[in-house]
Structure formats: C-alpha cells, structure tokens
Amino acid sequence: MSPRRASSRFDDDDRYFAPSKPLRADGIRAEHQTGAFAKSWWADRWIAALERLVDSGRLARGRSYARKGQVLEINIEPGKVSARVQGSRPAPYKIAISVGQLTNQEWERVLTALAGQAIFAASLLNGEMPRDVETAFKAAKVSLFPETRHDLTTTCSCPDAANPCKHLAAVFYLLGERFDQDPFLIFRLRGRTREEVLSALRTRRAGEAAASAATAADKPADGRPLDELIASFWQEGAALDHFTVSIVAPEVGALLLKRLGAPPLGQEANEMNIALTRTYAAVTSQALDLAFGEEEEPPTS
C-alpha cells in the first residue's frame, strides 16, 4: 500500500478528499459501546455478510458512527432498509439497502420444510431462531442470509466512491442489534412478516396433526379397517410384549401453547401463558418423579 493511500485522503478511484469529521448528532446510539455488536448467532451472521464486503478502515469508522449516534433513523420494510446518517455535511446522507426477496414458490417450500421439523416450528412460534434453521432454507434451495455481493444492493448519497461505505456500515451494525431483539426482521427482509410466517406454520402443523389423527382413527395397528373388526371388538387382543413406552421430558416445553400462540385476552394473555407454562413444567416434573422416583435420574430426550 502506498503512503498516499495510507493517508486515507484518497478513495478507490484516486480522487482526493480532505479529512473531515462528522457533525455531531443525537441519533440512534448502539447498545454495544465496546466489543461485538451481535449477541445472537443470527445477528452475527448478518454482520459477517457486511464484513466480507467492506475494508477494515471503513468498518472501524462505521462502528464509530453507530456508537456515536450518527445514524438518525432506520426504517425496515419487506426487502429493503432505508436510513439517514449524519456525516460531515449539513444534510444527512440517505441510505438504501435492498435484500432479494424470496418468491412465493420459494417461501412455500421453506415454510413446508420449517413445519416439517417440530423443533423448528416450536422455536419460531416461541419467538426464537433455531440454530439449524438454514437447513430448511437449503432444502428449499435458497438462503436466509446474504451470501454474496449479488444478494445485496446498497446505495449512499455520500461522495465516497466505495460501496458499501462507512455510513452503510454504521447502519448494518445497528441492524445487527435489532436482529438480536427480533429475529423475524430477517424474515421480513426476505419478504415475509412475523405474522405471515407464524400463521403459515400453525396452519401446516395443525393440518399434519389432523391428518395423523384421521389415519390413526381409520385403521388399527395391524392396518385392517375398523369395520372388519366389529365382531371381535370386545375380545382380548394379542399379547403386548412388543409394546414399549418411553417416558421423557418434552424437548420443547409448553409446545402446544407455542403452536397455538397467545390467546385473545388482551394484556392478560401473557400472564395466562406464563401461568400455564409453569403448570406444564410442574406436571412434567411430577410425572417424571412418579415414573422414576425422586432418587433416580430421568432420561433426557
């Protein structure tokens, strides 16, 4: 690297810019004033997508802008983010970030894959992002997070020829913090709101449960139709030597509550869910004690 480039007064096209400091602003200050910006793995993946595209100098200045409150506002809509960042000029710079939305057909494949795994559906219905959620997207032959420069379109009204610039970097870091708080914002950028994702998952899970119940009701264990067994209905069946029972705590607590969502009770809904979740946990604990005794260690799922 030449001394001229090390001075940071030239952009990537060798155009000279005098050193400048941003005007003081009282905008959105990052919660993380030191260290990493992301706490969750999904927010970290978002920031990693940025850090593959931006040089270290602009990343450092972007972190500084995010922590000083230079980002004045951020608006998130399906497929795009708009923001304003206060730089060295009186008028704030305008930021636009576009993320490719999945098509309706792609979303149908993704939602079917998510609903097919009980742990995925339960975690998402509980407002959590499953760590292996990307496997569902890969099964649908799409990606959840931006993977290449082609997955993102970014613009800033500043004079810096580099794209992404430090102003865009500042917005990316603050978005990472917002994704920590609400993982469904990532889905929204890909084209589906929280309500749309959860509604689709509930519908698919309910449909699968109903189909399973109908199949079980139509045929007994040996596969014969019930109307063929009427004559022997009250007779003793075959020995149950092959029948086994596995008593374990559920992998996801209060799964039914999470699948159904909050009841329509206004402010009392959350209190009821908390009370029922505690009740389910107490019932599970009591059942394990009865099955194994307090002295034994119950198995885990």
Q: Supply the DSSP string of 51-63, one letter for each residue.
A: HTTS-HHHHHHHH
> Tokens 């596969």 appear where?
223
The whole-angstrom separation of Cα 103 and Cα 105 is: 5
Total residues belonging to the chain: 301
The one-digit pLDDT tens for each residue of the chain (301 residues) are 333 333 344 444 444 455 578 888 889 988 878 888 777 888 888 888 778 877 788 888 999 999 999 999 999 888 899 999 999 899 999 999 998 888 999 999 999 888 888 788 888 877 778 878 888 888 888 888 877 777 788 899 999 888 889 999 999 899 988 888 888 888 898 888 888 888 888 888 776 555 554 455 555 555 667 777 777 777 766 655 555 666 777 766 676 666 566 666 665 666 777 788 888 888 888 888 887 775 555 555 5
User: Which SS3 state, helix, strand or coil, does residue 93 take?
Assistant: strand
pTM confidence score: 0.61
CA angle 283, 291, 247 (to 5 degrees): 80
Residue type, 74: I
